[in-house]
Amino acid sequence: QELLHGALPGAEVLVVSNREPYIHNRQGDEIVVQRPASGLVSALEPIMRACGGTWVAHGSGSADRETVDANGRIRVPEGTPAYTLRRVWISDAEQDGYYYGFANEGLWPLCHIVFVRPSFRADDWRAYREINQRFADAVVAESRTEDPVVLVQDYHFALVPKMIRQQLPKATIIAFWHIPWPNAETFSICPWRREIIEGMLGSTIFGFHTQFHCNNFVECVDRFVESRIDREVQAVSLGGHETRIRAYPISIEWPPSALGSVPARDKCRADVLKDFGLAAGTKLIVGIERFDYTKGIPDRMKAIDALLTRDPSWKGRLAFIQVAAPTRSKLDTYSSLQSEAKSLADAINTRHRDGQAPIHLVARHYESTDVFKLFRAADVCGVSSLHDGMNLVAKEFVSSRDDNAGVLVLSSFTGASRELSEALIVNPYDTEELAAAIKRAMTMPLEEQVERMKLMRQQVRENNVYRWAGTMLVDAARSRTRERILGLT
């Protein structure tokens, strides 16, 4: 946290993201506050609480408009206000084009290698551009100085860096892409590939989770934009402006603040067994994420199926609890995934039920204390994403295990697998391999669990989210100083 405060003393910090950190919803006479299931929000929220400033985001809750002032502003969190949330309003039709359409039917499948065909429609692109402009204008309106530090988040806002740069040429714009970046051949199918890259190059620094994604991005710049690339320092110059491309592996708060109110392992385990009606001694495997086709939820169920088919002695002795928060359900790819997963769970349970069912699919949002409770109760946490920029669930599981026990089974197609090499790393497309890893995890001797978990905990503790943000801000501070002494501004 010191790194954060020391990096840019006195600078004004603004964050731009689609998802807001606090959503106000009306339930009868009451207004309830909800926290979204978003890795991005859980990473940035502790940073904003530490830095203060303004967070510009889409006002999406049913009571959001009632809780802000005339300018769309509200101080958050309630009770201990630390920063300003400035809400931007988006109509349903705009949301269909910008969010469901271009962002989630175009860019999301384009960037993830999951073989869902991206759809590109001119109307969606128009809405995407308009909403990007609206957010850029909100940042400019909120900014009190001519050289603020603006943190632009994710694939919803590829065009925002350039749009801000046009109005605030002295701003330090650090943009971060929270999902993977594909290779040039894949990216080339996007009809607006040049505009997207040029929009991104309005930033001072553009960050990705891994070096691999940085390399892919630089290849795309090389192929689709006329610019000068300095590969040694990974910098791109376009129209006299330079952007540095950097890998910043995102992480979590350490220790996570929600852990403070979570009971110790034995109590968590007893509660979870009771809640799900499971026998004492049941091996618990957990999976927790948004109900998204990139997460490999059916693949994990198929591995449990394979395991029980191969080794029926596990029937009645294991339970796989899958919590999946429904998301983007308006899109066919998401709603059909939900029904596919439900029927798969039913079929597997019919096949392998022995006293108790092996699969427990809970299709709803869990608050973070309940998530941590489940992590603490688990013998195994399964992260089988087919493709994932980082995956913070893996890191949160590790952070919850202060008993140093528990085994992480982790897909090799997550950014997290580069850092958590002591997990059981698997290819989730290989059902037999995944099944074997789950079995190995359930039977791993405690000493080995402890050895592996300690190393992973050390890795996440040292490379926590403050370091992620701190490193970006230090790099930003250096580029501000460099520009000043070189007399570029």
Q: Which residues make up the interface to ligand G6P (CB under 6 A)?
A: 19, 38-40, 154, 178-179, 290, 327-328
The answer to whether 320 touches 360, Cβ cutoff 8 Å, is yes
- Residue 198's closest CA among 175, 172, 170, 171? 175
State how beta strands 228-230 and 235-238 pair. Answer: antiparallel
**134-157-210 Cα angle (round to 5):** 160
Closest contact distance (angstroms) between CB of 399 and ligand G6P is: 18
Task: CB nearer to ligand G6P: give 208 or 314.
Answer: 208
Q: How far is the CB of 329 from ligand G6P (least distance, A)?
A: 10
| 134 vs 290 by CB, closer to ligand G6P | 290
Q: Return the number of the residue (112 or 352) whose C-beta is nearest ligand G6P.
A: 112
The CA distance from 64 to 139, in Å, is 19
From the CB of 472, what's the least distance to ligand G6P, in Å?
Answer: 17
> Nearer to ligand G6P by C-beta: 177 or 320?
177
The pair phi, psi for residue 292, each rounded to 5°, is -125, 145
Both tokens of residue 430? Answer: 């290989």
- Report, in Å, the least distance between residue 352 CB and ligand G6P: 32
The nearer residue to ligand G6P, 179 or 214, going by C-beta atoms, is: 179
- Closer to ligand G6P by Cβ: residue 177 or 314: 177
* Of 108 and 320, CB closest to ligand G6P: 108
CA–CA distance, 60 with 195 (Å, rounded to integer): 28
CA angle 112, 464, 263 (to 5 degrees): 100
For the bound state, the minimum distance from the C-beta of residue 213 to ligand G6P, rounded and expressed in Å, comes to 13
| Closest distance to ligand G6P from the beta carbon of 162 (Å) | 20
- Cβ of residue 259: shortest distance to ligand G6P, in angstroms? 21
CA atoms within a 13 Å half-sphere pointing along the CA-CB vector of 101: 18
Q: Which is nearer to ligand G6P, 41 or 74 (CB)?
A: 41
- Residue 37 has phi, psi (to 5 degrees) of -85, 90
Closest approach, Cβ 290 to ligand G6P, in A, equals 6
Nearest approach, Cβ of 296 to ligand G6P (angstroms)? 15
Cβ-based nearer residue to ligand G6P, 243 or 327: 327
CA distance linking residue 390 with residue 463, whole number of Å:
13
**How far is residue 341's CA from residue 358's CA, in Å, rounded to a whole number?**
14
Our CB check for ligand G6P shows the closer of 349 and 368 to be 368
Residue closer to ligand G6P (CB basis): 209 or 452: 209
State which residue, 40 or 304, has the beta carbon closest to ligand G6P: 40
Position of tokens 């958050």?
76
Distances (CA, A) of 230 to 218, 234, 235: 10, 6, 5
The DSSP code sequence of 247-295 is E------SS-GGGGGSPPHHHHHHHHHHHTT--TT-EEEEEEEES-TTS
CA distance 48 to 199: 25
Q: How far is the CB of 148 from ligand G6P (least distance, A)?
A: 22
Q: Is the CB of 40 or the CB of 444 nearer to ligand G6P?
A: 40
What type of residue sits at position 307? L
The least distance separating ligand G6P from the CB of residue 58, rounded to whole angstroms, comes to 9
With contact defined as beta carbons under 8 Å apart, do 482 and 11 qualify?
A: no
Contact 288, 393 (CB under 8 A): yes
Q: Which residue has the tokens 């006329």?
A: 226
Q: Which residues contact 342 (CB under 8 A, 6 or more apart)?
A: 361, 363
Phi and psi based region of residue 47 (left: phi greater than 0; alpha: psi -120 to 50; beta: remaining): alpha
How far is Cα 105 from Cα 190, in angstroms, rounded to an integer? 12
CB of 219 to ligand G6P, least distance (A): 22
Cα dihedral value 198, 201, 202, 203, nearest 10: 160
CB of 390 to ligand G6P, least distance (A): 9
Q: Each residue of 433-450: b (16+ CB within 10 Å) or e?
A: bbbbbbbebbebeeeebb
